[in-house]
Each structure stands twice: as structure tokens, then as C-alpha cells.
Structure 1
Amino acid sequence: MRSVQIKKAKFVFAAVATAAVTVTAALAQSSQPVIGLITKTDTNPFFVKMKEGAGAEAKKLGAKLLTGAGKSDGDNAGQVTAIENMVAAGAKTILITPSDSKAIVPAIAKARAAGVMVIALDSPTEPASAVDGLFATNNYQAGILIGQWAKKTMGSKKAVIATLDLFPGQPVGIARHNGFLEGFGMKGVTSKTTAQINAGVACAQDSFGDQAKGQTAMENCLQKNPDINLVYTINEPAAAGAYQALKAIGKEKDVLIVSVDGGCAGIRNVEAGVIGATSQQYPLKMASMGVTAGVNYAKTGKKVSGYTDTGVTLITNKPVSGVKSQDGKFGLANCWGK
């Protein structure tokens, strides 16, 4: 009889111990930091890589990553819904690349009021203080670099410029566009200029950062002025579209194309001579830094503050004096990452 009681006692103890382990595991799981990442789209390679970087860092640090995106660049409603869903799902940090820098602010304010830390990636909000912090390239400097390179490369040749921009009112698009113009030597343009300047530009068209729209925009510019010989593009998909439009009429070797992003496909186009130079950014770094900050906030309650520059490098296989650059080999080794 005593033997039976001892066996029962051991069974009860084991059951209690097992239950304790289960509860402990459940508590550990519930304390797992939840971090949200909202990109402008989930198809642009820039944001695909950002998502990969965030996922890898979240796995490394033991965080749970929620992701969302707008249906297209400029889809503010989709991003608002994503914020609301992530707050409801328990996210304590949300990383976002704002499609509409102003319209997204009320949704961000609600999330922050609920105790969520919000960090903008790549694109600032208006005002910048609407978020806790910003991890991004200095987009104005990215524009300056390709502008300076283009100026030196064009030499004494008169430039007839087309700009294939993002869409009206987008801070990143304005910064890159205006930075390019300042780098090229246009007067009256500074980093404090908040409106897009088109003085000295033969044709300015919106491409929405899309290859097909970029091709259409380039076709429109060539109809407006067939003498265009220098093209600034908001990103490398738009640059690829511009090249296709030029190639269709046999002018691809007569026009210099510069761009921004430094993605792997874009760098391959530098290697192929499609793009003369591009300013390389590091979205994987932006995302991984954001996830790290989110995990730290979950553990310590300490929020990030202000702007963190994640770097930019001019990539070209045709270097010019006075403008620091790296070649395509470096660009391919560091595309999207670093």
C-alpha cells in the first residue's frame, strides 16, 4: 500500500513539475518582443530586402516579427490598417517606411499614445517629431553625389536634363531630386528647400519608382524634348524603364542615366553600362537596427531618439576626380546590405 502511495506522490509531483514547465514556457513566449514592420509595398526589391533583414535580426534576437505593406507606393490607407492591426496584436515597436509622410501621422500618434515606439525607416514623417526616431540614408546627400558625378562626367557638354521623380510631395523624392540639382551646380537649391525645384530641368515626370511607369515617363520626356542627354531617376527600376525607352529609339548610348538605391539589380545595370552611377543605400541595415532598437525597448523601456544616418556610397565604374566612389564589384558585394 505504501508503495502505491509513493508512486502516486511521484506521479503528482511529476505532473506539477510538468505543469510548471508549461506555464514557464508560456510566460516566456508571451514575453517575446513583438515588432511590426510596415513597408510602402511588398514588391519593390528595396523593401523586400528590408523585410529579409528585419526577419533575420528578429530571429537572431528572439523577437516575433509582424509585417505589412501598402498595395502600392502612396497607399496610406493600407499602412494605417497595418498599424492598427499590429497594435491590436501586441506590437510594442513599429518600424515604418511612410508612403504619405503627413497623412500617416494621426495613426502613428494613436500607436504612440498606446505605448508603442514608432521608428521611421528610409523616409521621414512630416513633422519628423511624429516618430520616436528615423533610421535612413541622407537622401539629399545621395542626390548630391550623383549630381556631382554627372557634372564631372558631362564636362563642357551642355546638359539637357530629364528627371523621373517619385510622386508629388514625397520628402524622399524631393530630397533626392533637389540634391541631384545642387550636386550638378544648380543655384538656389539647398537641403532646406522643401519644394521640388525644376528650374533648369527640360522635363520632370513622376515615375512612382516603377519600371513601366519610368519607361512611359521617359517616352513623354523624349516627345517633349528629343535632345535630352542626362536623366536623373528616383530609383533603379525607374532607371531601367528609362533605358528601355531610350533603347527603343536607338539613343541608349547617347544619354547618361544616374540613380539612387544601389540594389543588386541596379548595380548589375551599372556593370552593364545601363546606369552610369548610383548612390547605394543599405535597407537591410536600417531594418536590423530598427529591430535591435525594438528589442532593447521591450527589455529596458528605453526609446530611440532623433535621426541615425545609415550611410550612402556612390557606385560607378567610371570614377571622376573629386567625387569619392566605389566600383561595381564593391556595389555587388554590399548591395542592400552592409
Structure 2
Amino acid sequence: MGRRGHVGLAARGLAVAAAGALALAAAGCTSQKVGGSDTAGGGGGKIKIGLVTKTDSNPYFVALRESAKAEADKQGAELIALAGKFDGDNDGQVTALENLIQQGAKAIMVTPSNSTGVINAIKQARDRGILVIALDTATDPENAVDATIATDNVEAGRLQGQYVRAALAGKDPHLIMLDGTPGSTVSEQRHNGFLQGIGLPAGDPRILGAEPTNGEQNKAQQATENLLQRNSEVNAVYNLNEPAARGAYAALQGKGLAGQVVIGAIDGGCQGVQDVKDGKTAVTVMQFPKKMAATGVDDAVEFAKTGKKPSGFTNTGAMVITDRPMPGIDSKDTAWGLQNCWG
């Protein structure tokens, strides 16, 4: 992701800027210009709020970043957005956090790729009096940050599992599971919640296999193809998110199996809702990343102005989206979903 050069600066200032850019590039984090000045520049006295996402390309994190920028603009604050180069780039996120500390951020919001890997960098920030909020993904331990604003990911997984079980219409599940990034609390919580919802204990032989996908479509397709080679008697697929679900569908479609499998997902992106409408997935569980980001910015501005810190967990909600409603499961159809989706 390119950074604009600062032409016309004194040689010394140029050297400092170049060194900072090289440090970011070497560590594998990316930045986005999201305010009235370059993210490496000053804010003209504005409150500086940092945002560190897992990537800057995933539509989910794009929506989250854009919402944070809009709310920061509304509040007269400056948003400095950095990201890892890929989901799981812990080193890039650590360097991004350290960079934001040096830039004088008053508050930092972070979506950890590795829920334990960023703990030391978060401690450095908090030791300097910086408010740190986890968005979307909890840290481990959760009290490593001042507050967490996210979907209840156990509940989101449970809702997907309950729906898939109901959609099987009494058939015994033969399940494959497409997980996220190892070490991510989101991946673990959704996985465990799904098993609760579908009513299977961990290790049950009806779970035909599970693979990490980093939430990426291509990796999910390959993982599904690998799992189908071991056992093709699948009738249900758990997916961490909608890109993974698209990968699963592509693999199943290639084997002529898509029509006999109930595919679930979590996210609520506009493409994911369209996939439900088109019959590629049976259900998705919608999250509300724009609400997460806006709430985080509001809390950050409040802290900068008054010193009041948020605390604990704020649940931003989840909604089942399907055109095949099941008894006892609260849901909305894809028309509602397309009106309320993100991305």
C-alpha cells in the first residue's frame, strides 16, 4: 500500500520520514491515509485515534475502517489506520501498535490476528496512558485491553449451528469445519459456539474434519477439497466467515455435491447476503462492524476529552439471514439483509 512522499521537506525531516516508512515496510504492516493529512503526519492539534486491523483488504475490515473514519471526521478527530499484510500477521500488528504509540495516539483500537501475540505491545501503550480497545476480536486475556467491542462470537457460532441442524431436517450431521487463524479467539469462539448449536461434542466422529483457512476463499476451497478426499459423505459445512463459505461452495460444486450440503457462514457482507439469496449458502449470521467502529471512536473521543474510560464487553449484536426460516430461530430474509449489509 503506497505512502505519499513529502517533497520539499528539509533533508533531515525527509530522512526521518523515510526511516519510518522503511521500518513499517520491514515489519509487514500497511497504512491507509484516512484523515486530512498523511497517517505519518501531524494532526493539527486534533485528537489522534489509531486503528490496527488484521488486513486492509478484507471487505469486513474496509467497512470497519471506513466507519471509524466517518465517525472520527464527525467528531473532529484524526484517524490513523494501519494493518497487517495478511490475516495472521502478528508481527505487522505489533509494529503498527508501536508506531501509533510513537505518533502520539491518544487511543488505539485493534482487531488482533493473534489474541496473545499483541499483549506486550498493548501493555506498552496502556503503560503510557493510551486507551486501548479491542474491536471484533477479544484479546487473551480479555482484560489486557480497557474494553472490547465486538459480536458475541460464541453466540454467532451457536446461531449458525442451530440453523444448520434445523435445516438438516432430522438427518444426522456429517460435518466439515472451516476455521480461521490458529490463536484467534474469534476462530475458537465461533467453532465452539457452532458445535453447541448443532449439538455435537468436540471429537465426535460425525465431525469428518476441520482445517484452518485464515478466513480466505482460496484456502477454504483447498481445505474443502482436501477434506472431501478423506470423506465425501458430507451434508453440512461450518464456515468461520463468508469468504470461507464461498471457497467451500466452489469445492463442493466442483464435485457435484453442493446441492446436498447445508453451508453456513458468519459476516453479513453484501456479497455474503447475495450468496444466500442465490442459494450458494443456506444462512449467514450478520455482524455489525460499522457499529463496532463508531462506538470505539466515540469512546476514544470521550476518553481524550474527559478521561472517562470504557470497560468490559459491548455486544454489537448478530442476526440470522436466510430465505428459508426455521421454527424457533429468529431470522430476517435477504431483502432485509441487503438493506442492512456492509461492504
TM over 0.5: yes
Q: Which of 231, 248, 251 is equivalent to 1:245? A: 251
Distance 2:243 2:165 in 1: 23
Q: Secondary structure at the match of 1:124?
A: coil
Distance 1:246 1:52 in 2: 34
What is the match of residue 229 of structure 1?
235
Amino acid at match of 1:41: T
Distance 2:250 2:92 in 1: 31
Listed as ranges, the matches of 1:71-86 within 5 Å are 71-86=85-100
Residue 215 of structure 2 corresponds to residue 201 of structure 1: no
Listed as ranges, the matches of 1:1-338 within 5 Å are 30-187=44-201, 197-199=202-204, 200-336=206-342
Identical residues among aligned pairs (%)? 48
Question: Would the aligned equivalents of 2:216 and 2:244 in 1 still touch at CA under 8 Å?
Answer: yes
Deviation at residue 30 of structure 1 after TM alignment: 4.3
Distance 1:331 1:159 in 2: 27
Question: Would the aligned equivalents of 1:198 and 1:204 in 2 still touch at CA under 8 Å?
Answer: no
Distance 2:100 2:301 in 1: 16
Deviation at residue 270 of structure 1 after TM alignment: 0.5
Amino acid at match of 1:181: L
Question: Would the aligned equivalents of 1:134 and 1:307 in 2 still touch at CA under 8 Å?
Answer: yes
Distance 2:130 2:124 in 1: 9
Deviation at residue 47 of structure 1 after TM alignment: 0.4
Q: Secondary structure at the match of 2:207?
A: coil
Question: Would the aligned equivalents of 2:113 and 2:181 in 1 still touch at CA under 8 Å?
Answer: no
Deviation at residue 167 of structure 1 after TM alignment: 2.6
Amino acid at match of 1:335: C
Structure 1 vs Structure 2 CA RMSD? 1.3
Amino acid at match of 1:322: G
Deviation at residue 247 of structure 1 after TM alignment: 1.1
Gaps of 5+ in 1: 1-28, 188-196
Question: Would the aligned equivalents of 1:261 and 1:280 in 2 still touch at CA under 8 Å?
Answer: yes
Question: Would the aligned equivalents of 1:166 and 1:207 in 2 still touch at CA under 8 Å?
Answer: yes
Amino acid at match of 1:169: G
Q: Secondary structure at the match of 2:108?
A: strand
Distance 1:208 1:137 in 2: 18
Could you tell me the TM-score, scaled by structure 2's length? 0.86
Amino acid at match of 2:55: T
Q: Secondary structure at the match of 1:202?
A: strand
What is the match of residue 22 of structure 2?
none
Gaps of 5+ in 2: 1-42
- Give the count of matched residue pairs: 301
